[in-house]
Structure 1
Amino acid sequence: MPSGKPSAAATKGATANATKLEFTKEQELTALRDMLLIRRFEEKAGQLYGMGAIGGFCHLYIGQEAVVVGMQMVLKEGDQVITGYRDHGHMLATGMDPKGVMAELTGRRSGYSKGKGGSMHMFSKEKHFYGGHGIVGAQVPLGTGLAFANRYRGNDNVAIAYFGDGAANQGQVYESFNMAELWKLPVVYVIENNRYAMGTAVTRASAQTDFSKRGASFNIPGEQVDGMDVRAVRAAGERAVGWCREGKGPFILEMQTYRYRGHSMSDPAKYRTREEVEKVRHDQDPIEQVRKRLLAAKVDEAELKKIDAEVREIVNDAADFAQHDPEPDVSELYTDVYR
Structure 2
Amino acid sequence: MNMTLPLKSRPEVTVCIACRNEEANAEAIAAAVCEKMESVGADFDIIFIDNESSDRTVEIVKGMCARDPRIKLIKNTRNYGQMRSPTHAIYEAGGRAVISMCADFQDSPDLLPEFVRRWRAGVPIVLGIREREKSGLILSAVRSMSYAMQRRFGDYQIIPNATGFGIYDAKVVRAIEQLNEPEPFFRGLLVETGYKIEQIPFARPPRAGGRSKNNFFTLLDFALNGLAGSSGNLLRAPLYVAFLFGLLTAACMLGAVWAAFAGQSWQLWLFAAMLEGQFTLLFLFLGLLGVQVKLISDRTRNQPLVLEEERVNFPPDYKGTASTPEYEKAGTGV
**TM-score higher than 0.5 here?**
no
**Which of the five TM-score ranges fits, normalised by the shorter chain?**
under 0.3
Report the structure, 1 or 2, having the larger strand content: 2
Pair member with larger Rg: 2
